[in-house]
Chains A and B, each alone.
Chain A
Amino acid sequence: MAHPASTQATVQPRINPWITLSLVCIAVFVGSVDLTIVSAVLPRIVTDLNVSIDSELSYASWIISGYLLTYTISMAFMGRFSDLIGRRMMYFVCLLIFLLGSAIAAIAWTLDLVILGRVVQALGAGAIVPISMALVGDLFAPEKRAPALGFVGAIETIGWMVGHLYGGVLMALFDDWRLLFWINIPAGLLALGLTWWALRDVQPRRASGTFDWPGALLLSASLIALNVGLSAGSELGLTDFYGQVQGLPPYALPLVLSSLLLFVAFIVVEQRVRDPLIDLAMFRQPMAASACLINALFGFVLALALTNVPLFVNARLGLLNPTDMTILRTAAWDSGWLLAALTLTMGLLAVPGGWLTNRLGLRPTTMIGLVLTLVGFVLLSTWQSDTSYLMMSIQLMITGIGMGLVISPVATAILQSADAERRGSASALVITLRLVGMTLGVSVLTLWGVYRQNMLRSNADAAAQAGIDYALASSDPAQFLLAVATTVIGEIFLAGAIASLLALVCAWWLRPVLDETRGEHRAT
C-alpha cells in the first residue's frame, strides 16, 4: 500500500498543491476508466477475434480479470518504487507502460495479445493510484491529507463508474473496440505532459520505515494462484472431443490450496515485519474487520453486476436478432447506459451516504444500503427474455442506491480504525480490498457461468430441473439458448444477493468504538 509521508510536506510548490494533485489525477482517471471500459464491448472483442464461446470463454474472461488482478498487484508494489526513484520519474515510467499496453491491445490480432496488452496496461495504471496517494504526503501537511486522499479515491471511483458508459458511447459512435485503446494514447500523452509539468518542483521524501517486500510478494502470489485456480475451475464441465467430461484440470485444486497457504504465510509475515503492508492490528477491531469484509463483498457484487448486465443484453439481442449484423454495436451502447443506471446512481448516492452516516451512524447507514442492495440483486435475478429496459433500469437503480449508500460508511470505518500515521495505507486498502473482491467476482462468475451453461445445454435433466424446456433446443434453438443464458445470469445475480446478505451480517459489527484515549466515539 502507499505510505504518504507521515511528517511535514516537503514540496516547495510554485502552484497550489490542489492544482498539482488535480493534474496528476487525470492519469488516475484515465487508468481507472480502463477497469470497466471493456465490460460493454467484451462480446464484440470475443466475436471479432473468433474466440469460441464453447471452448474459450473462460480464457476470454482474462481480458477483464487480468486487468483487475494486475492493477491490484501493481497497487501493492509501485507506491514504494516511487519512493526510490522519484514520483515524477515513476509517473513517467508507469504512463509509458500504460500507453504501451494500450497500443498492444489496440493492434492485437489474437486473444492472447489482447490479454497481454490489458495486463501491461494495468501494470502501469494500477501504479498511478498509490503513487498519487504517496504524492499527497509530499504535497500536503498531515492535517490536510485526508481530503486529498479522498479526492484521489473519488477520482479513481468515478473513472471505473463511467468506464463502461464511455466504452458504450464510443462503440455506438465508431463501432470499433480498438478505438477504446487507441484513444488512450493521446489521453495518456496529455496526462504525461501535465504530470511532468505539475511535478517539476516536487521533491519526494522517503516514507519512514521499510517496504514489506515479502508481504507484497506473498499477497500477490496468493492472489494470482487463487484467480488462475478458480479460472481453471470453469473447465470443470468441459468435455473431450467425444463428449466425455474431463473434470478439473490437474493444476486447479493445487493452485487454490497454494493460494491459501501463501495467504497464511502472508499473515505470519505481516505479524513479524516492522512495517507491514497491511496493519493486521486493525483487524483486531471488529468494526475494521467487518468493514474490510463488507468492502471486499462490495467489490464482488459490483463485478457480478458489471459483467452480468452486458452478458444478458448481448445474449438477448444477439439471439433474438440473428440477422442484424449491427446488433453487437447496439448491445454495447445498451449495456453502457444500462450499467450507468447502476453506477451513476451509486456515485450520486455516495454523498448522501456520507450525510446519513453523520446523522444515523455507520451501522444503520450501511445496513440500509445493504438491504437495498440485497433487494436489488434479488430483483435482478428475475430478469427474463422479455423484461423491459425500463424495469431493468429501475432495478439497477435500486441496487445502485443501496451500493452508493454503503461506500462512505465503510470507507469511514476503515479509515477511522487506522492510526493517524497509517490513514494513507488505509485509503489504499479501501481500494485494494474492493479490487480483490472484484477480481474474485469475475473469477467466480466465470467458473459458475461456464460450468452451468455447459451443463444446461448438454443435459436434459439439468435443464428440466432449471425449468427449461429441452425440446426447444431443436424446435427453437434461439429461445432455448436464451432460456439457458437467462437462468445462468439469474443464478449469478442470486449469488450477488447472497453476498449482500453476508455483508449485511458483517454490518452488525459496525458499531461505534469508544476511543479511551479521547473519551469519544471514534466512528459514529
Chain B
Amino acid sequence: MHRIGLSLLAVCLLVAGCGGTASGPPTPTIAPADLSQRIAEVIRQSQSLQFLLEFTGEPAYADPAGLFRLISIEGGLQRPDQAIATLKVRSVAGVADVRLISLDGQLYVTNPVTRQWTCVEQGALFDPVVLFDSSQGIDYLIRDVFENPTLMPPEEIDGVQQYHLKGQMQGSSLIDITYGMLGLGLVEVDVWANAETLQPTRLVLVDTGTNAEDPTTWTMTFSDYDQPIDIRAPITCE
C-alpha cells in the first residue's frame, strides 16, 4: 500500500512537471522587433485601461520652482480622449492629493489647498491622456521609438507569464510626452506584456542622463483593459 502511494505520488509529480512545461510561456516565433509592434498594436486597439505611474530616483517636480515632487499618478484612460487620475505630490509640508479629469479637450484639476475643482487650459499641466495618444503615446513609443529591442527570458508577474523586452529610446523623443521630466539622456526601457494577450502590464523608463547613481525612473503598471470607466465633468467651465 505504501509503495502504491509512493508510485502515485511520483506519477502525480511527473504529470505536474509535464503540465508545468506545457503551460509555460509560448516560445515566440517572431523577432523582438515584431513582438514590440504587436504589443503596440494591442494598446492602440484597447478602449480603456487602468494605470499607475510611479516616479522614483532623481525627483521629478510638478512645478518650475521644484517645491512639489511627483510621487505617483494613478487612474484610468479611456478612448478617445478621457482620463481620470489622482496625482500624489510631496512638499515639505506633507504629501497631498491632486485630482485630475481630462474630458473632451478640457482639463479639470482640484486646487490642492481648497480641494475645489477648477478648469485648466490644455497644456498647462501634464495630461495623462497623452499616454493614449497614437501620435506620441505609449503605442507610438513602443512602435516607433523603441530601439534595439531584445527578448529576455520569460518571466512571471502576479502569476501570469510575461514577455520581457529590453531596449532603449532616444531621450528627445520623450521630452514632449513627459513634459520634459524625462529625456536628458538615453532612456533604458523595459516592457513586460501578457504572454497570451500581449497587453502590456509594465513599462519602466530609466533616464540615464539624470543621475548616474539614482536616475529618474518612471514605472508604469497597466491593468483592467477594456473595462468601462466613469469619467464626467466635475464642474462647468465658462
A residues with a Cβ closer than 8 A to B are 43, 46-47, 50-55, 239, 241-243, 315, 318-319, 321-325, 327-328, 454, 457-458, 470, 473-474, 477-478, 480-481
Contacts and interface: CB of A to CB of B under 8 A. Distances in A.
A473 B96 contact: no
Contacts of A322: 67, 91-93
A242 B234 contact: yes
Contacts of B95: 46-47, 50-53
10 contacts: A43-B94, A50-B88, A54-B97, A55-B97, A241-B99, A315-B93, A318-B91, A323-B92, A324-B92, A454-B115
A458 B116 contact: yes
Nearest to A318: B93
A47 B94 contact: yes
Contacts of A480: 113
B237 to A, nearest CB: 15
B61 interface: no
Nearest to A325: B92
Contact of B113 (A43, A46, A323, A477): A477
B114 interface: yes
A481 B92 contact: no
A328 B92 contact: yes
Contacts of A43: 94
B84 interface: yes
Contacts of B86: 241
B71 interface: yes
A243 B115 CA distance: 8
A208 B226 CA distance: 68
Contacts of B84: 241
A457 B115 contact: yes
A474 B113 CA distance: 8
Contact of B96 (A52, A243, A458, A470): A52
Contacts of B88: 50, 52
Contacts of B92: 318, 321-325, 327-328
Given A322-B91, A324-B92, A325-B92, A458 B114 contact: yes
B117 A52 contact: no
Nearest to A324: B92
Given A52-B97, A457-B115, A477-B113, A47 B90 contact: yes
A242 B110 CA distance: 9
B117 A53 contact: no
Given A242-B234, A322-B67, A323-B67, A54 B96 contact: yes
A478 B90 CA distance: 15
Given A243-B234, A322-B67, A50 B114 contact: no
A113 to B, nearest CB: 17
B44 to A, nearest CB: 28
B111 interface: yes
Contacts of A323: 67, 92
Given A50-B88, A323-B92, 13 more contacts: A50-B71, A52-B97, A53-B95, A243-B116, A243-B117, A318-B92, A321-B92, A323-B67, A324-B92, A458-B116, A470-B114, A473-B114, A477-B113
